[in-house]
Amino acid sequence: MPSSASNKGCLIYFLALIWLLPMSAFADAFAVAVKRAEMNIQGDRYVLSADIDYQLSPRAKEALQNGVSLFWVVQIKVWQQRDYVWDKKLVYKEVRYRIQYHALLNMYRVRNESSGEVDNFSTLPAALDLMSRVRDIQVIDRVDLLAGERYLAGVKVSFDRDALPLPLRPAAYVNLQWYLSSDWYVWSLKN
């Protein structure tokens, strides 16, 4: 059986995937982006504070209004840059947010899945506002960072498509309205 034909099929499929991947970059109108992020020293630790801008697409808003919960994961990463070997990852942390609309109370409920904290808001911007302000997340001990080495910190907000209801998922991979993740926001960490 000649395998060239099936190889060709696979190749076309992967090319299509590669073509689809960078499309998130063009979805500015409803993009999610990290506006500002910094690490401050509090006592012996580095503490992250970041501002994130959530601009929901009409489709996402509609889904939210209709009772679909949306999940975002704030990913925090610190790694050591090295010259001749690959970078060494020091810390990886996730903060997971869930936003849900309550019809009975006419409220938006934001739940920090990591800490279990729940907040209710009567408007969506207020709810998003809470999610936007990431404050006081302890990331790494100062002693873990050695003097003279270069360290980078990065923050990214990812929209968890796999947490969507199942029927929405295939569309979420194809429809740009569901590309609601930010790029990595990376800055160098000064010890």
Partner 1 sequence: MVPEKLKPPINFTVLILFGLILLSLQLMSSATQESSQLSEMYSWLLLVNALGSVVLLGLVVANIYSLTRQLKKREAGSRLTTRMVSLFVVLSLVPAAIVFYFSMQFLHQGIDSWFNVEMDRAMEDALELSQASLDQRMRWHLKQTQQLSERLADSSATLATLELEQLREVAEASEMTLFSRQGRIVASSSINPSDILPSLPDEHIWLQLRRNSEYVALAPIREDELMIRAIVTVNAREPQYLQALYPVPVRIADLADSVEFAFVRYQEMNFLRDSLKLSFSLALSLVLLMSLLAAIWVAFISIRNIIAPVKELVKGTQAVASGHYDQQLPVIAQDDLGFLVESFNEMTQRIARARDETKRAGVEVENQRAYLETILANLTAGVISFDADYKIRTANQAAYRIFHIHVSHFVGQTLLNLAQDYAELAEPLKSIQRLLVQSDDEIWQQRIAFLGPNGRQELLCRGTPLFSQEGGRVGAVVVFDDVTDLIQAQKNAAWGEVARRLAHEIKNPLTPIKLSAERLQHKLATKLETSDADMLKRSTMTIVQQVEAMKEMVDDFSEYAKPSKKQTVTIDMSALVQEVLALYALKSGVTFKADDEASLLMVKGDPVSIRQVLHNLIKNALEAIDPKGHIEIGLHRVQKNNADFIEIALYDDGPGIKEDQIEKIFEPYVTTKAKGTGLGLAIVKKIIEEHGGAIWVDTTRKIGAGFIIQLPAYNY
User: Contact with partner 1 (CB under 8 A): which of 4, 18, 19, 86?
Assistant: 4
CA gap 104, 130 in Å, rounded: 21
CA gap 168, 151 in Å, rounded: 39
Q: Count CA atoms closer than 13 A to 99's CA, side-chain side.
A: 26
Distance from the Cα of residue 60 to its chain's centroid = 15
| Environment class of 131 (CB within 10 Å of its CB; exposed 0-12, middle 13-18, buried 19+) | buried
Judged by CB under 8 A, does residue 58 bind partner 1?
no
Judged by CB under 8 A, does residue 105 bind partner 1?
yes
Non-local CB neighbours of 29 within 8 Å, separated by 6+ positions: 55, 57
Judged by CB under 8 A, does residue 15 bind partner 1?
no
Contact at 8 Å (CB) between 96 and 72? yes
Which single residue is written with the structure tokens 């073509």? 19
> Which one of the spans 88-96, 100-108, 139-147, 177-185 is the region binding partner 1 (CB under 8 A)?
100-108
Judged by CB under 8 A, does residue 188 bind partner 1?
no
* Nearer Cβ to partner 1 (21/171): 171
> Which one of the spans 114-122, 131-139, 142-150, 151-159 is the region binding partner 1 (CB under 8 A)?
114-122
Judged by CB under 8 A, does residue 9 bind partner 1?
yes
User: Contact with partner 1 (CB under 8 A): which of 26, 92, 173, 184?
Assistant: 173
Judged by CB under 8 A, does residue 125 bind partner 1?
no
Judged by CB under 8 A, does residue 104 bind partner 1?
yes
Contact at 8 Å (CB) between 128 and 32? no
Which single residue is written with the structure tokens 């194809």? 174
> Which one of the spans 32-40, 45-53, 71-79, 106-114 is the region binding partner 1 (CB under 8 A)?
106-114
Binding site for partner 1 (CB under 8 A): 1-10, 13, 62-63, 66-68, 101-105, 107, 109, 111, 118, 120-122, 126, 161-162, 165-171, 173
